[in-house]
Amino acid sequence: MSVNVLQDGLIHLSQIIEPIHQIAIIKHIITNESQNFDLNSEKRANILCSNSLSAENCNLLHTLAQQWLQLAHEHCPSITPKEELNLIRLNYYPPTGKIGYHADTIPNMSTEDHLKYTNPVVSISLGNDAIFLYKNDLKEKEEKEIYLKSGDVVIFGGPSRMIFHSVPKIFPETIINKELMEVMSEFVNGRFNITMRNEFKFKEEDKYLPLTGREESGKYLSAHAIKAGVNLSMVIEKSKQKMK
């Protein structure tokens, strides 16, 4: 395990999750959420607000997350050490899955407030290796890279909270642990990503945001969003207008 401070507010915790905990979390995901993934899709299938991974339903995940935040704070004080991580986003990346540059913005928040928002994001990698690219401004030509392995955690908060980041590539057949490989089973060549963050209460119609591939595509709704009856095009346009 190593702690890498990449810039103020951006930390890579390499191999911070022990294999036994990786396996427990993946088993929990497969048991509760696998029915929502389209394994035939070449895009990133994603679920926003995964209730099965809430603090009430997956205490292990949240206990570990608080430990990671404390560790990150000790190495980088701009990361707040204690956060109620009340919004959990679960993504499954198939072998060819990817996502372009984006920032983890907050619905209904003004551009000015986004620039002041510092509450950290905890991003967890499970399964196959992946490339994580980031830059502070989309206009920057230079992009920096983190090579992610199963059990890695990236935390970004403080002045790095609104960094732009992307996952352009997954590397199939890079799971080393045999038991982890067996648990992944039908997902063996893919990657799970869990993103945890603190957010204020949403209006019901703003709770579910775009879901597979590039966020502006609006071609896929998770089971949660379908049940909510969300007009995805309206939500996307509303978010874009508020960020102008």
Q: Region 65-82: what's the mean pLDDT? A: 96
- Cα(113)–Cα(106) distance, integer angstroms: 10
pLDDT above 70 coverage of the chain, percent: 80
DSSP 16-69: -S-HHHHHHHHHHHHHHHGGG--TT-SS-EEEES-GGGSTTT-HHHHHHHHHHH
Q: DSSP label at 177?
A: -
Long-range CB contact pairs, 6-9, < 8 A, 24+: 6/144, 6/146, 7/136, 7/160, 8/76, 8/78, 8/158, 8/159, 8/160, 9/76, 9/78, 9/79, 9/118, 9/120, 9/156, 9/157, 9/158, 9/159, 9/160, 9/161
**Residue 3 — φ and ψ, nearest 5°?**
-110, 120
Q: Kindly report, residue by residue over 140-197, the tens digit of the pLDDT.
A: 889 999 999 999 999 999 999 999 999 999 999 999 999 999 999 888 889 999 999 9
**Residue 191 — φ and ψ, nearest 5°?**
-145, 135
Inform me whether the pLDDT recorded for 225 exceeds 80: no
**Residue 73 — φ and ψ, nearest 5°?**
-60, -40
Is the pTM higher than 0.85?
no
Greatest extent of the chain over all pairs of C-alpha atoms, in Å: 48
Strands 87-93 and 45-48: what pairing?
A: antiparallel
Inform me whether the pLDDT recorded for 101 exceeds 90: yes
Binned at pLDDT 50, 70 and 90, residue 206 comes out as very low
* CA-angle at 165, arms to 162 and 169, nearest 5°: 165
Q: Which of 13-17, 31-35, 120-124 has the lowest mean pLDDT?
A: 31-35
Cβ atoms within 10 Å, residue 93: 25
- Cα(201)–Cα(98) distance, integer angstroms: 29
Q: Region 233-241: what's the mean pLDDT? A: 42
Q: What is the pLDDT of residue 42?
A: 78
Token pair of 149, please?
């392995």
Binned at pLDDT 50, 70 and 90, residue 13 comes out as very high
Under a CB-based contact definition with an 8 Å cutoff, are residues 181 and 191 in contact?
no
